[in-house]
Structure 1
Amino acid sequence: MSSSDLIVSLDIGTSKVRVIIGEVQNGAINIIGVGSADSEGIRKGAIVDIDQTVQSIRNAVDHAERMVGIEISEVYVGIQGNHIALQTNHGVVAVSNEDREIGEEDIERVLQAARVVALPPEREIIGLVPRQFLVDGLDGISDPRGMIGVRLEVEATVITGAKTAIHNLMRCVEKADLQIAGVILMSLASGQMALTKDEKNMGTALVDLGAGSTTIAIFEQGNLAATSTLPVGGEYVTNDISYGLRTQTEQAEKIKLKFGCALVSDAAEDQKFKVVRMGSNVEKEFSQVDLANIIEPRMQEIFQLVRQEIIRLGYEGKVNGCVLTGGTASMPGVQALAQRELETSVRIAVPDYIGVRDPAFTSGVGMIQYVSRYMRPRAAGSARRAAVRKPAPASPSAAAKPGIFERLKRMFSEFI
């Protein structure tokens, strides 16, 4: 990797579209730009209106470009949803070098072999995550480059998704005049940022509390073991407030963000606010306790559904803790309520970077970390264009011979 590299992540959520620009300098990441826009055309995490979604992406990109003063040409896109499935597969190749030293080309070939799986016509491969490599039967190897061997194997998790959902997502990004550098599973990216090595090994549930959906990802033995999406989220809390206080959804959302509390016991009776009720111009006064009485039952229900889903996935008693991310996790009282309902230790993951210290940015920042660690190093030594380009004439070196990452991308392009 060059001494300075730029990576852009695009997180298309139900309530917000977020663009984060990360600068990687000698392995260290700095967040230099953030753009966000209200999400239109998305319902429960799925695209329901292409044109509205395209406009939301453009608005978020423009916001980020104005902040940093550069032009975004290429992005890494996050994907999630209940159509995502995981399956394990095995790849085997013979080491091609005469001296039997394992190189990049051998790793490329074994990963290609692991991607050969039988899939229904309506599904396709999004990505592949190596769990471990084996060299001549010796297992537990995380990076076999430079090792000597005759036979190279890989045990990998193949991430698949519904073609319709993937192609609609990519169509929206392309119509927004952006090139797609890669598609990344958000649960994987969030895990990269939110979880420690020990948490991944011991068994942890990463719960992303979004606006339209809640995504559960189980990590075990250092890898993503299972994932599931529930069609409930912060939007449902807003709807409950709207009905309970008889006010418009837009105002209910503002009240939730300013005065919302997930526990009645933590709410303050003297914290008052006024609401314009539907069908009249008369304002009525409510307290934070009134609001918490509406919020707590719905949040309680969401965590009960999360617990049932963990049991359904077969991880009852195997999860040693829970980590919360997503915009809804920042509401006061959520951590204590989750701890009570899930009956396990709970913490909230917040990115430790200036400008993005909010659980809502976990996925976007995680994508930048994931790319810099697992995807960009393959481009070392290549003249691949950065994810962001400044509006200046292209240098002649930009047409240099493509590197291994570029060849790998072309090879896998048929799957995406």
Structure 2
Amino acid sequence: MENGVYASLDIGTTSIKVIVAEVLNGQMNVIGVGSERSKGLNKGMIVDIEETSNAITLAVKQAEEKSGLKIEELIVGIPAQGVQIIPCNGYIQVEQSHEEINDQDVEKVIRETCLNSVPTDKEVISVMIEEFLVDGFDEIKDPRGMVGERLEVYGTVLAVPKSIVHNIKKCVQLSGYSIKDLIIQPQAMAQLVLSEDERQFGTIQIDIGGGQTTVSAIHDHQLKFVHVEQQGGEFVTKDISMVLNTSIQNAENLKRDVGYAFANHVADDQFVHVDVVGQQDPIKVKESYISEIIEARLEQIFEVLKNKLDKIDALSLPGKVKLTGGAAAIPGIRELAEDIFEVQVDVYIPDFMGVRYPSFTNAISLVYYEGQLDGIQKLINQISLSDIRSNSKELSHSSSKSVNHHNSKQDETYVKSAETQKGPSFTEKVKSFFSTFFD
């Protein structure tokens, strides 16, 4: 990890979190935390820019006070709602073959083969590079400094609706901060939550937030599948409130204090007193009954996710399931998830001083991901970010080098012809997951 201080912003349905972390000699330490109740979001989406902006300001101020640092720029998480995963490939012809490939060449091939391959209503957030090729030599991670006549790229574009990006940008700007980077949340989470082998061989991530639950599949270090279910921990609280006729705050306290996600594991002789609307005296309720309410909602969420995962056979991935997010703190949720998914489930809890709660996973993963970026990925991220800032897809460099661009349907033919040049390594990669997740 690169030494430095990083500040992240996680805009969630129930709370807005800011993490300030310092990386020194490969170790990351959280030195400041801010958390403010969300008032301008619904189901993970911004519905009130002013309210959200005010909450961001308050959360940042808290993190500044605790860290003793002034925050000017933020690494901002982008929710997976509406994410489109688009494979891309193409090449540019380098006319000045005696000159080394530089940043401008990389930018040109990325712009012409990846950034211009997305629908006009989408904004490119990230380009995940599988490999570069220089004159047919493959498996190159960073082509800069090499000499060649032809520069190719194989990768995957992550794009989201422009409205989502605009609203997030507007809220951050109104709060008085600049954006250092924009990162799709499941992409960042994988870097923190999963091991090297789990990212390589394939693992499912489930993030149960307040207003929505995001399931994603990671394979070959890349995001291959995402689905967002518009239910989360907040729905569990509302169910308790509605069934028991108690306030939302009481319901939240019950969920946290006596809640259990697997009702069969709760003793039937344990009771709790609950304040009920319209009654002077509290009523006595079995804790097992509260657990039944919690289990019913979580079971519904997991069943929907299982149906989505079964369609792409993702539950057969070797890494099985990693569960995190605020609702992952409910006792018994791992056992319930294993009962439904019928595979091993592990609950991830961040292991950083002061934030050892699964509700902070997203915020921590953003700073962790940014610290792990290598030079070529930083360059590519800045190319995407500069396009977002200018809202323009025009190529910024001269057209002195010829460019060949392929749309997604043309790419299918191009991949076949490229296989002959590249050998079986790329063929195996294509067969393994492009065929599964992009059908």
Q: TM-score range by the shorter chain?
A: 0.7 to 0.9
Aligned to 2:22: 23
TM-superposed CA distance for 1:141, in Å, is 3.0
Contact 2:75 2:366 in 1 (8 A): yes
CA 1:64 to 1:208, structure 2 compared with 1: closer, same or farther past 3 Å?
A: same
Aligned to 1:229: 228
Aligned to 1:156: 155
Letter in 2 for 1:233: G
Letter in 1 for 2:390: E
Contact 1:89 1:117 in 2 (8 A): no
Contact 1:5 1:24 in 2 (8 A): yes
d(CA) in 2 for partners of 1:49 and 1:30?
Answer: 33
d(CA) in 1 for partners of 2:358 and 2:79?
Answer: 17
Letter in 1 for 2:254: I
Letter in 1 for 2:110: L
Q: How does 1:38-53 map to 2 (within 5 A)?
A: 38-53=37-52
d(CA) in 2 for partners of 1:375 and 1:179?
Answer: 22
Aligned to 2:218: 219
Aligned to 2:31: 32
Question: For structure 1, which segment, 214-223 or 326-335, has the greater mean C-alpha deviation from structure 2 after superposition?
Answer: 214-223
1:59 aligned counterpart, secondary structure:
helix
Contact 1:108 1:408 in 2 (8 A): no
Aligned to 1:111: 110
2:373 aligned counterpart, secondary structure:
helix
TM-superposed CA distance for 1:105, in Å, is 4.2
TM-superposed CA distance for 1:117, in Å, is 2.6
Contact 2:133 2:140 in 1 (8 A): yes
Q: How large is the Cα RMSD of the aligned pairs?
A: 2.6
TM-superposed CA distance for 1:101, in Å, is 4.6
TM-superposed CA distance for 1:305, in Å, is 0.7
Residues 80-132 of structure 1: per-residue CA shift (max 9 Å, x gap): 14321110111423457765654444433333333343443322212211122
Aligned to 1:332: 331
CA 1:146 to 1:43, structure 2 compared with 1: closer, same or farther past 3 Å?
A: same
TM-superposed CA distance for 1:25, in Å, is 1.9
CA 1:96 to 1:256, structure 2 compared with 1: closer, same or farther past 3 Å?
A: farther
TM-superposed CA distance for 1:268, in Å, is 3.8
d(CA) in 2 for partners of 1:155 and 1:255?
Answer: 50
Aligned to 2:254: 255
d(CA) in 2 for partners of 1:210 and 1:270?
Answer: 31
**TM-score scaled by structure 2?**
0.82
Contact 1:214 1:231 in 2 (8 A): yes
TM-superposed CA distance for 1:134, in Å, is 2.1
d(CA) in 2 for partners of 1:280 and 1:61?
Answer: 41
Aligned to 1:192: 191
CA 1:194 to 1:96, structure 2 compared with 1: closer, same or farther past 3 Å?
A: farther
Letter in 2 for 1:208: D
Contact 2:107 2:383 in 1 (8 A): no
d(CA) in 1 for partners of 2:139 and 2:299?
Answer: 41
In the alignment, structure 1 residue 413 sits paired with structure 2 residue 394 = no
Aligned to 2:137: 138
d(CA) in 2 for partners of 1:408 and 1:203?
Answer: 26
In the alignment, structure 1 residue 207 sits paired with structure 2 residue 206 = yes
Letter in 1 for 2:197: D
d(CA) in 1 for partners of 2:75 and 2:279?
Answer: 47
Residues 229-268 of structure 1: per-residue CA shift (max 9 Å, x gap): 1111111111111112210112101211121110112224
Q: How does 1:120-135 map to 2 (within 5 A)?
A: 120-135=119-134
d(CA) in 2 for partners of 1:348 and 1:316?
Answer: 16
CA 1:369 to 1:276, structure 2 compared with 1: closer, same or farther past 3 Å?
A: same
CA 1:404 to 1:136, structure 2 compared with 1: closer, same or farther past 3 Å?
A: closer
Aligned to 2:287: 288
Letter in 2 for 1:39: S
TM-superposed CA distance for 1:352, in Å, is 2.0
Residues 320-357 of structure 1: per-residue CA shift (max 9 Å, x gap): 50111111111111111111101111111222211122
Gapped regions of structure 2 (runs ≥ 5): 393-439
Q: How does 1:345-364 map to 2 (within 5 A)?
A: 345-364=344-363
Contact 2:272 2:284 in 1 (8 A): yes
Contact 1:114 1:156 in 2 (8 A): no
TM-superposed CA distance for 1:179, in Å, is 0.9
d(CA) in 1 for partners of 2:388 and 2:49?
Answer: 26
d(CA) in 2 for partners of 1:205 and 1:309?
Answer: 12
d(CA) in 1 for partners of 2:65 and 2:367?
Answer: 20
1:332 aligned counterpart, secondary structure:
coil
1:366 aligned counterpart, secondary structure:
helix
Letter in 2 for 1:329: A
d(CA) in 2 for partners of 1:191 and 1:97?
Answer: 39
2:314 aligned counterpart, secondary structure:
coil
TM-superposed CA distance for 1:376, in Å, is 7.1
CA 1:149 to 1:270, structure 2 compared with 1: closer, same or farther past 3 Å?
A: farther
In the alignment, structure 1 residue 7 sits paired with structure 2 residue 6 = yes
Contact 2:266 2:287 in 1 (8 A): yes
d(CA) in 2 for partners of 1:411 and 1:81?
Answer: 20
TM-superposed CA distance for 1:152, in Å, is 2.4
Contact 1:95 1:101 in 2 (8 A): no
d(CA) in 1 for partners of 2:95 and 2:69?
Answer: 43
Letter in 2 for 1:60: A
**TM-score scaled by structure 1?**
0.86
CA 1:286 to 1:181, structure 2 compared with 1: closer, same or farther past 3 Å?
A: same
1:212 aligned counterpart, secondary structure:
coil
2:116 aligned counterpart, secondary structure:
coil
Contact 2:208 2:327 in 1 (8 A): yes
